Amino acid sequence: MIWNDEFETLPREAIQSLQLKRLQQTLQRVNATVPLYKRKFNEAKVTPEQIRSLEDMQRLPFTLKQDMRDTYPYGMFAVPLEQIVRIHASSGTTGKPTVVGYTRRDIETWTELMARSFVAAGAHKGDVIHNAYGYGLFTGGLGAHYGAEKIGASVIPMSGGNTKKQIMIMQDFGSSVLTCTPSYCLFLAEAAREEGLDIRDFKLRVGIHGAEPWSEQMRNEIEENLGIKAIDIYGLSEILGPGVGIECIEAQTGLHIWEDHFIPEIINPETGEVLPPGERGELVITTITKEGIPLIRYRTRDITRLIPEPCICGRTHVRLERMSGRSDDMLIIRGVNVFPSQIESVLFNIEGVEPHYQLIVERDGNLDTLEVQVEVNEKTFSDEIKVLQDLGNRIRKDIKDLLGVTCKVRLVEPRSIARSEGKAKRVIDNRQSD
Amino acid sequence: MKVAQISIFIENKTGRLAEVSRVLGDAGVNIRALSLADTSDFGILRLIVDQTDKAKEVLKKEGFTVSKTEVIAVEVPDRPKGLYSILDILDKGKVNVEYMYAFVERCGENAVIIFRFDDVDAAIKVLTENSVQVLPGDRIYGI
């Protein structure tokens, strides 16, 4: 099923000419209304008029998260505050949060794109959508909520946390679609089992998961443990919130990014150069319809590649490969680039090992050390020391073979790694303090 | 002939052993014999208790990883070369011992040693053929 047949299946040439027209309008607008962009364009010696094709975009300067911090709170707004009808903010783990404002039309756009996303994920009118993304300053809850209402589904505004109640309501209300982070999804399944319940017996059919990177193996784990189809959704509050891109249930391979509203580019995160089609690098997004905060070439820090091949679902919008990590989550251990998601894949490939792990990075003298903590469970536990040591050695060897980095593996008791109700905290890097 | 033993995964950090014994104590489970095998990061606590299933259940409920294993309890003469006489029989019978530990209490005049073999049935056969007293679970849980 396709929500907006006309726009979602627009021929490529039509998408590109629409993108160029909308890009040019956006550039004119930000040049006139956002002092930061006027200055950036001056510094890069480029004017909106010089952008005559999509290739010309490469001349435009990037926008960084730091730019949003520097202009905190309202400096990036391209419209007067009285035209802003909603303000969200991203969790400011370091210092001040990042603030985003939406005009009435931005909210309509967001609602439309979330409606498209729900339908692409296989949701429809008549579904009971259990929305366990946090409501509040975080964009997840409200973003998903509006789109779910738009398609005519019945929305349960659960928000995050209160796991026992989540399970009770999911069972009693007959939730058929679940939206939450992938790690929380597994946490729910585990908590249900402890109550003697099996989510596979519930009416749940589809899970829509995002807000943190996850692997294909984790998808299998979710699909198996909850008896659902698990769909990857992509979004970030600076650009819109959830609904920037989504997998279609037909292919479950790559996330369609709504190209009539965004222009994606893939760059080398070190040099800023645009990479040839199909190569993996950092995703950069330009918004071309946003009014509140239009962003030009925003560096998302997410690592992915574009999948240009046509999709079996009929949508013509390009797909992003599943995010393989964030360029700022990337750990550099003794000069080797390591993404937590790579360690996760290694663990998933070992029979019986569960996806509960944590990476501890320390500095011992001048040497970085990586410790991988993995929970022991009934399947991996043995009465014999050597079997457990073999398990540790196997994990260490697989990580070494795949990532080229030596680590220490520490087996820990079950449930000793904190379960997060929001985003999983996979990395504890103790090197920053020295 | 076999005796049920429970094994518990324990991280090397303070209070974990105390926690196991508290959980068992609260459930009214009495420990009959124990052994702790440890590495730098973790240990395996092996216990023989008077109520195996109950012990396993309460420990699991408290979040411990627990498994049940079969071991053999052997009566060993409590005198010099007593243990050797048994190990010699096992050696000649080509039975490999995974690990072993001694029981705290005696059984009459004899000491009791708990053995874990990779092939339990072969071990029982070798021992009984050589007239070594293998103690049944019921005797052990109640010592």
Angle at A79 between CA A75 and CA A85, to 5 degrees: 100
User: Which residues, in sequence order, are bridge partners of residue A236?
Assistant: A241
Query: Do residue B76 and residue B64 come from a single domain?
Result: no
Residues B84 and B127 in one domain: yes
Mean pLDDT estimate for chain B: 89
Nearest to B77 by CA among B66, B89, B65, B64: B89
Q: Which residues contact A218 (CB under 8 A, 6 or more apart)?
A: A182, A186, A344, A348, A355
Rounded Cα distance between B54 and B61, Å, is: 11
> Whole-model pTM above 0.80?
no
Shortest Cα distance from A389 to chain B (angstroms)? 9
Residue of B nearest to A415 (CA): B63
What pLDDT is stored for residue A95 in this prediction?
66
Selected residue of B41, B66, B116 to mutate for chain A interface (largest A Cβ count, 10 A): B41
CATH class for the region spanning A331-429: alpha beta
d(CA B118, CA B97): 7
User: Quick one: tokens of A294?
Assistant: 């239009």
Q: What residues have CB less than 8 Å from A373, skipping those under 6 apart?
A: A357, A358, A359, A360, A410, A411, A412, A417
B105 shares its domain with B46: no
Backbone angles phi, psi at B58, to 5 degrees: -70, -35
Does the pLDDT at position A297 exceed 90? Answer: yes
3-class DSSP state of A93 = coil
- B41 and B89 co-located in one domain: no
CATH (domain of B25): 3.30.2130.10
For residues A49 and B58, give the distance between their C-alpha atoms in angstroms, rounded to a whole number.
73
Write down the mean pLDDT value for chain A.
Answer: 92
Best A380, A410, A413 member to test B by mutation, with max B CBs in 10 Å, is A413
Q: Stretch A354-366: mean pLDDT, rounded?
A: 84
CA distances from A278 to A312, A400, A410 (A): 18, 27, 38
Question: Chain A partners of B46 at a C-beta cutoff of 8 Å?
Answer: 383
| Facing residue for A415 by CB, picked from B44, B63, B67 | B63
Is residue A147 classed as helix, strand or coil in its secondary structure? helix
Residues B21 and B55 in one domain: yes
| pLDDT grade for A94, boundaries at 50, 70 and 90 | low
Whether B81 contacts B47, CB under 8 Å: no
Residue A305 has pLDDT above 90, yes or no: yes
Distance from CA of A200 to the nearest CA of B (A): 23
What beta strand segments (E) does A171-316 contain?
177-180, 206-209, 229-236, 241-247, 255-257, 262-267, 281-287, 298-304, 306-307
Are residues B46 and B98 both part of a single domain? no
Name beta bridge partners: B38. B43
Give the C-alpha separation, A375 to A341, whole Å.
Answer: 17
Residues from chain A that touch B3, judged by Cβ atoms under 8 A, are none
- Same domain, yes or no: B100 and B134: yes
Range of the domain at B11: 2-69
Smallest CA–CA separation between B109 and chain A, in Å?
A: 31
Query: Residues of A221-258 as b/e, b for ≥16 C-beta within 10 angstroms?
Result: bbeebbebbbbbbbbbbbbbbbbbbbbbbeebbbbbbb
> Which residue is associated with the tokens 């068992």?
B24
For the beta carbon of residue A381, count every other beta carbon within 10 angstroms.
21
Grade residue A323 by pLDDT with cuts at 50, 70 and 90.
Answer: confident
User: To the nearest whole percent, how much of chain B has pLDDT over 90?
Assistant: 56
B84 and B55 assigned to the same domain: no
- Please check the confidence at residue A104 and state whether its pLDDT lies above 90: yes
Question: Is the pLDDT score of A434 beyond 50?
Answer: no
CA angle A91, A92, A98 (to 5 degrees): 85
Q: Which CATH number fits domain A1-327: 3.40.50.12780, 3.40.30.10, 1.10.645.10, 1.10.150.120?
A: 3.40.50.12780
Region A296-313: what's the mean pLDDT? 94
Give the position of tokens 């020295």. Answer: A434
DSSP secondary structure code for residue A353 in this structure: -
Give pLDDT, residue A338: 82
**What tokens appear for A15 in the block?**
């998408």
Residue B32 touches partner A, C-beta closer than 8 Å: no
Percent of chain A scored above 90 by pLDDT? 71
| pLDDT at residue B138 in the model | 83
**If you average pLDDT over residues B99-121, what whole number do you get?**
84
- How confident is the model at residue B77, as a pLDDT? 86
**Last-in-domain residue among B30, B48, B69:** B69
A326 pLDDT more than 90: no
Q: Which chain B residues touch A414 with a CB distance below 8 Å?
A: 63-65
> Is some CB atom of chain A closer than 8 A to the CB atom of B1?
no
Predicted local distance difference test score (pLDDT) of residue A63: 97
Chain B contact present for A382, CB below 8 A:
yes
Q: What is the pLDDT of residues B28-73, one digit of tens each?
A: 999 988 999 988 889 999 999 999 999 999 999 998 999 999 999 9
Q: Are B89 and B124 in a shared domain?
A: yes
The model's pLDDT over A3-16, given as tens digits with 9 standing for 90+, comes to 999 999 999 999 99
User: How many domains does one find in chain B?
Assistant: 2
Bridge partner list, A11: none
CB distance B9–A411 less than 8 Å?
yes
A381 to chain B, any CB pair closer than 8 A? The answer is: yes
Query: How many angstroms from the chain centroid is the CA of residue A416?
Result: 26
**Is 50 exceeded by the pLDDT of residue A165?**
yes
Q: Is B142 on the interface with A (CB under 8 A)?
A: no
Q: Give the DSSP H/E element, type plus range, for residue A399.
A: helix A385-403
- H/E/C letters for each residue in chain B? CEEEEEEEEEECCCCHHHHHHHHHHHCCCCEEEEEEEECCCEEEEEEEECCHHHHHHHHHHCCCCEEEEEEEEEEEECCCCHHHHHHHHHHHCCCCEEEEEECCCCECCEEEEEEEECCHHHHHHHHHHCCCCEECHHHHHCC
- Contact of B17 with B10, CB cutoff 8 Å: yes
Which residue is it, tokens 């959508």? A129
Greater model confidence, A190 or B104: A190
Residues 6 or more apart whose CB falls under 8 angstroms from that of A139 comprise A88, A90, A100, A235, A237, A240, A241, A242
**Mutate which of B8, B35, B42, B57 to disrupt the A interface (most A C-beta within 10 Å)?**
B42
Percent share of chain B, pLDDT over 70: 99
In chain A, where the domains are located: 1-327, 331-429
Mean pLDDT of A279-290: 95
Tell me if B67 and A381 make a contact (CB, 8 A cut-off): yes
Q: For the segment A124-158, what is each residue's pLDDT rounded down to a tens digit?
A: 999 999 999 999 999 999 999 999 999 999 999 99
* CB-nearest partner of A381 from B9, B37, B116: B9
Residue B138 contacts A where some CB pair is shorter than 8 Å: no
Judge: B64–A413 Cβ closer than 8 Å, yes or no: yes
